[in-house]
Structure 1
């Protein structure tokens, strides 16, 4: 809603320059002045120079005429623009938003027109007209204040509505891709052209340090982390990325861009180059949001995105489950561990090695983090926000309960395999063959 400013005092007598009322100076030259305003717009605000001539002669000129008449009324009455006049400006600004004319250009057009009006009415001012000149300038400021509020309100309301519709259409497209349904109509509604292939990325985000900081609202810290993560994804993705991300992670579909030759005799294979680029994007997202990200990616055509999302999520879970550190992984990076998660008697026996830790999430989390940190107890403590002595204690308890020592070389591969199998056993994606007990 536009708030009208307090009314200016009604002039005791008409404001005049050289004996001619200022409002009449505008009204009698309104069409000539409007044409001059439109010419100045095309000269000084580049976006207006790119508009069709028909629109400049029609809608834009009509707006200029209406604005000039409106300011003339303000000069005549000393009152701010009427609600009806402001409503017209509000609707006009909404149309400019629909046409994707930048807001600064829309507001700048009103200020440019106001300056032209002021030049018109004050062209013949003499020293004896000083009082009326000052009064006219004050009325112009009040006029521009009311106009700017109305223009901002109309433009922003329309922009937010359009953004909401576009976001809804994009989310509908993402849902169609991940549900395995027909996507072409959804892409057309979203105004997007589907790429030949996507990198389907499953992301898990660790907490930002501020989420554990005393006195800090963890919800606000998590929201800021999510906002920065999304912003970096949108900034770097080639084409339009689609994502369903939360502070804990989620799924992103990033258009795959084929690698181009760089003058070398043998450029890298597109898949490898594309994955390296994507890994860089994940690192930059982590740096931007201030939290560690563990992700997995699968390249797929749009119609294969649903299956790729399921596989990417599984690969990420395997990487996390067996103690891999933050970063981006492919199936090739965890082939052995992935195989160990598939139902078999061997998987169940491996999972049983960690059965004594059931219910001890602190011990399991410490063990995974210790392996992800390259057996570095201090890094493990920092990541878990605990004292290094607590890490030592938990690792000793793990060793006492399982008979396996993470710091003992021969036990390490067995522990990693057991973690992969145990993670698969308790993952909702898996179907155990037999009870590991």
Structure 2
């Protein structure tokens, strides 16, 4: 773990495997003697977690490094084993499966305690981090005053005024959501993420809206509709990635509302995943791209739900000018912009152009 802190996470290297193997060897020795890791050994493991808590940094990468490092070390022991050592390797593997959990729980609780000592009271944020990495413990859930649920609403949004949510923002969100066990907050890339347990007394949509309003009351506002995905507890990491992607697509599409689900950006999702499909759609409006007033007319027409009076008023032109422009669009593209097929083609083409002109939407947060 010290190598992880100093070297930026040397997981899987020969040096880190050797470091973790030495810990496992000590553990195997204690396992043979029927003992457990002594308190001073646990304290050595948790010291770094306390330092991270005091600096307001996340603990999830450290736990991930520890778990992966242990797996690498155990696998390396099996690969290099000599005949007759299988029984010892079985003992080592058994200890690793229990000892790693023991150390992980100790690190988690030390981290929570250090944060409380620092006055942050962000144990729920820690729990959210661990849940996203599949390493949550019942002890930590109890410390965070949270009763785990089978399903969660995963909400991801970008905070107004911040490129990425700061530790203070995440802690403030965590404190605001504590009352009523509304959810757990954490950071994933540039998104503030909320894991809201689905209880029987309220629906997912109602919960997501309540979360947005609760955060707004403590000065945390999402820059665009937040993405929302319903997922079982075991799939929260993937759900947060999907929610962040939905938020990005909703932002590009200029959608309104508090939260957006996948069914509201289903076309954008399909377009963003297929670059050839996106290119073909964009080619439909290539003939009018160099004529800004025609492109703006097309966008405004669909924004006004095909209401020509409102469209002409928004464009500040006469209705006959609007009619002329629509006829000109049909002449240049061969597609009638007010017929059903034309509307479908042009709406998708405009969405594809928006996606293409923006930075590529990341697959994950």
Q: Normalising by structure 2, report the TM-score.
A: 0.44
Q: Normalising by structure 1, report the TM-score.
A: 0.38
